[in-house]
Structure 1
Amino acid sequence: MRRLALILPLLLLAACAATGGTMPPLTTDANINLERYMGRWWVIANVPYFAERGKLAAADVYTLREDGRITNTYVYRKAFDEPEKSMNGVAEVVPGTNNAQWRIAFFWGLVKADYLVMEVAPDYSWALIGHPKRKLAWIFSRKPVMDEALYQDLRQRFAAWGYDPETILKVPQKAEQVGQPGFQ
């Protein structure tokens, strides 16, 4: 509980932070098949921020619930020789967004985050996730390792949405990736 008391104010500040820019909020016109989107998505890369920085072998696991909401389990390791840990959230799809915009609540609804599926591969093998204020971005894959050419292409796609692709860094999914160029 003490740890939560320390982390909660930081999460609230991050959720309320302004972009500092004059761009309109990011939106998406992706059309997502929720049943196909469910399952494990490996976090290949992201814009590092305090809640995920330093995490290894990270993945988001989505499960569609009977009430129409989505269980969001973020799994990670702090070191490759340590056990997997997890954080849980519950997401609701924003009506009228073709299932591409979600509102995720963590810590019993005290912290809420916007989630935008910007693009998904036709075979649902990868997905690009954004945030309305363009401070956060993720590259997801169904496999823990992605072809480098595909990764670079997906990373560059964020530029069209007003992101600086240089801020997107890989998340180590294997021990040998730790400390390598381009990784967090």
Structure 2
Amino acid sequence: MTSHRVLRCILGLVAGVISTFALLPAGSSAAAPRPVDGPAPVESLDLNQYLGTWNQLAAVPQFFNLQCARDTRADYTLDPQGNVAVYNSCTTWSGDRNEIRGTAKVNDPVTRAQFHVSFPSVPGQGQLDGPTNYIVTALGPDYSWALVTDPTRLSGFVLARSPALDAPTWDRVREAITAAGQTPCMYLTSPVTGGQTDLAPLCLR
């Protein structure tokens, strides 16, 4: 299957998920309440413990990640200025490695869980200072998994240190997504070597 056909299949799947969610009756368990305010960050983030490599296990589909077929990862390290150096990478549908580098600056000195992430190679996204666009809204107690979204709730990422999570942990992740004012139906699982191999709405997993 060509990469264009794969992308069309993914877009069709996303459209189907959105259509299915739109048809759910009021009060359905898949419908998430939408708080008036933006998603709350975790009470406190230990930045040093948060650094390192994360595997993307699920995400809200975005234009920039449709080219990623599997093994999407984020590597976070401290840079000389005390900000977080971001290195995102994935394997594309053609088997190539795609990567992008950026910087995350803490926007919330109280919780240290809200950031502005900038990518100098992307037009209009190179400013180091800017509004919050990355919120760590849930964390495993041992920093084994994290849920990240933004103030609009239009993006979302389930990150984990390992390539797979057990069933009880996935239950906690889905609960965290709902608590953030989203629905698991917005998220598609991300294929990872050593973990899940399929693309499927998280609410159906």
Given the alignment of the two structures, is residue 90 of structure 1 paired with residue 90 of structure 2, yes or no?
no
Identity over aligned pairs, percent: 24
1:98-113 superposed matches below 5 A:
98-108=111-121, 110-111=124-125
Q: What does the per-residue CA deviation read over 1:18-43, in whole Å, with 9 as the maximum and x for residues that have no partner? A: xxx88332232431111111010100
Corresponding letter in the other structure for 1:125:
S
Give the superposition deviation at 1:107. Answer: 2.5
Give the superposition deviation at 1:149. Answer: 3.4
What is the TM-score of this pair, normalised by structure 2? 0.70
Larger Rg: 2
> Take 1:40 and 1:22, find their aligned partners in 2: how far apart are those partners?
31
Q: 2:46 maps to what in 1?
A: 33
> Take 1:180 and 1:103, find their aligned partners in 2: how far apart are those partners?
29
Q: What does the per-residue CA deviation read over 1:136-162, in whole Å, with 9 as the maximum and x for residues that have no partner? A: 111110011222332233023211221
Give the superposition deviation at 1:177. Answer: 4.7
Q: What does the per-residue CA deviation read over 1:34-70, in whole Å, with 9 as the maximum and x for residues that have no partner? A: 1111010100111111111241110111011121111
Residue from 150, 156, 164 that aligns with 2:183: 164
Q: 2:17 maps to what in 1?
A: none
What is the TM-score of this pair, normalised by structure 1? 0.77
Given the alignment of the two structures, is residue 77 of structure 1 paired with residue 113 of structure 2, yes or no?
no
Given the alignment of the two structures, is residue 49 of structure 1 paired with residue 68 of structure 2, yes or no?
no
Q: 1:14 maps to what in 2?
A: none
> Take 2:199 and 2:151, find their aligned partners in 1: how far apart are those partners?
30
- How many matched pairs? 162
